[in-house]
Structure 1
């Protein structure tokens, strides 16, 4: 972008978008926000964020539009509709889609954006609500490297950005991330379930493993959630299964079988089907407990 960024529109101010909009406003940017449930955008007024009634209205005159909506279908509808965001944005401004969406959708939105004379990046994030609040997100950006680097001051408010390839590459990297995250959460849940059923104290088992090869950010944060029973959503399970299903669909389109990912996806789908989709994805341990309610111990040979 030729000029310094002053005005930023944030489309979607939920669990992730809300804290991100607040951090941008705290950094001195003029932030205009829209959310389908308006009170979530209105709640940011104390941090200087201006709430408006439509996504297109938020985008008018913005130097950068950041999209943090819940799915590819919603992003496509809000951004590419006849009176949508892309049609409203001024030529030369930048569109940054930070939602977790299918690769094909990210590429399509990018194509339409470039046709309108916009800079484009698909730049999904990892780090959860905590990372969004603290500005420590890992940002995986696809798009022209110069366009990504031109937004370094914006990304710096939110976390650490890495340009990983052309449009669509950021989304692909996020899908890879989500397979690692979901599989690791399930492994932690299985280990703590095993400890509990075997008669050990799961909290003490977690403490004992800290600093060893099994340690990780997921083990520390989500293992703690599991042993304390705190499943307030940072990353809801319904979004986790959306991402694992999207990753598997893309893999299958390339002739790949990902057996661990397929089993993890089935576990999360069962969790959602059993009514726990709004719980944090660390709540997968509840699904494991359900699966094992009637299991009886067997004697070792």
Structure 2
């Protein structure tokens, strides 16, 4: 069906390629929409930028959840189930597409779309800002162009018809689910299921960070959320220690210490991680800092120092035995 029409919005034209069935669904706040999409340049070759069918996984968004490419909500709300339509969208609607596409591609590659756990120096961050990691998206960001967005509407589920994952929650709902995830993580930790516990802690941290980005940095609401996130990150680090991921634990605790140098728990866990990788001087320095910040930790620190002394003596003896045979 080649029925071209305008949606009543500047910079959008719709062309129905295959008609759907029934009435247009109710796209109310909280409804989950499942659809396939293909994005193409408006050039002679109709160059394909992204295609969810090639990836093999349809896209899901929740209406009213402030998805970055909000024009999708507008386009989808004009469609029926089973309909396939092509939309020409001017740059006023597609300027942010490269950033959204980067996140979608990282998800498809099995990577974290926000890289919350990856830390780089300021110089590296500067270069990262200048590149999205995909040449075609970098080019599209430098020179925004109109795009063809082809959509196939597969399903619309009302809020009561599906179990909502944390990404589909409102900010208020995210904050309510954080203590639930925290509790599940603690239970899994006590059961020795450390990998599973890290997933619960990480999910809770992401919920908090999503809400925190909407607060002004270093003001009271932001600091309350920061305190919650740090507590969960330290729990996450305890799991890392149990999983012998010592360097990642050092990385996360160092981040907390750099922002909040009075957090004695971060020094304590970093000291334990340093001790495990034979960083004796760093471990002793961290444990000393713990005592400065909280003298009540004296017994725990004394125990860790005793373990450190024993481990260093064992290592020194191993080194002596190894070098003795060389001369």
Q: TM-score, normalised by structure 2?
A: 0.25
Largest Rg, 1 or 2: 2
Q: TM-score, normalised by structure 1?
A: 0.27
